[in-house]
């Protein structure tokens, strides 16, 4: 993939989508390391802050309504138009967005935008990308990764049973929505994780 991108410098905005735990962030980080001058914008920065979510929003965090899809699209449209911009990052410590954490200048390329809903049909962002990738992963393997990540980062208390419960009542539903939406079929490339 990195070699392809080197040979296609016009592919500036690269969207990377997939189900929870598929390896989107890992792929984006690996490609960015291989391509000096590139950057990564995590869609996680567009989560609504925890303080703005009600109990159901906190329980279903990561589902489409818990993201600011309007700002995500607006910011990508601005980046496509001007070649630069300021974007939110994500704090793995606070589990919340970090406004203004990422600055993209006109010379930055490629820019990897990774996240669950990067190719979600109703968000209408597919046309903004020069190249799109869907990271394929067996559903059960991906959800085990999410469970492990929840425990490692301290997002859940109550050990593995609590992590498993969260995965089954939230992340599995998000994965099923992504798969049903057909983003895989809208991607230019499929990468197996």
**Which alpha helices (DSSP H) does the chain contain, by range?**
2-7, 24-34, 55-59, 69-82, 139-152, 159-166, 172-181, 183-186
Predicted pLDDT at 129:
97
Predicted pLDDT at 108:
95
CA distance 29 to 55: 32
The pTM of the full predicted model, rounded to 2 decimals, is 0.95
Domain boundaries, the chain: 2-138+182-192
* Segment 99-152, tens digit of pLDDT: 999 999 999 999 999 999 999 999 999 999 999 999 999 999 999 999 999 888
CA distance 61 to 27: 23
Q: Give the CATH class of 2-138+182-192.
A: alpha beta
* Segment 23-37, tens digit of pLDDT: 999 999 999 999 999
Distance of CA 126 to the CA centre of its chain: 14
Burial of residue 78 (CB within 10 Å: 0-12, 13-18, 19+) is: middle
Tokens 């700002």 sit on residue: 71
């Amino acid at each position: 993939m990195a070699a392809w991108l080197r040979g296609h410098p016009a592919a500036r905005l690269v969207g990377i989508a997939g189900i929870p735990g598929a390896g989107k962030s890992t792929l984006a980080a690996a490609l960015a390391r291989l391509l000096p001058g590139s950057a990564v914008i995590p869609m996680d920065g567009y989560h609504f802050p925890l303080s703005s979510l009600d109990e159901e929003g906190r329980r279903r965090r990561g589902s489409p309504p818990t993201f600011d899809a309007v700002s995500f699209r607006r910011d990508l449209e601005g980046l496509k138009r001007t070649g630069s911009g300021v974007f939110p990052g994500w704090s793995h410590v606070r589990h919340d967005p970090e406004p203004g954490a990422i600055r993209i200048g006109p010379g930055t390329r490629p820019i990897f935008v990774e996240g669950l809903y990067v190719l979600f049909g109703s968000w209408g962002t597919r046309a903004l990308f020069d190249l799109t990738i869907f990271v394929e992963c067996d559903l059960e393997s991906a959800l085990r990764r999410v469970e492990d990540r929840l425990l490692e980062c301290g997002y859940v208390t109550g050990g593995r049973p609590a992590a498993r419960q969260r995965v089954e009542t939230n992340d599995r539903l998000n994965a099923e929505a992504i798969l049903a939406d057909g983003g895989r079929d809208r991607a230019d490339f499929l990468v197996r994780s």
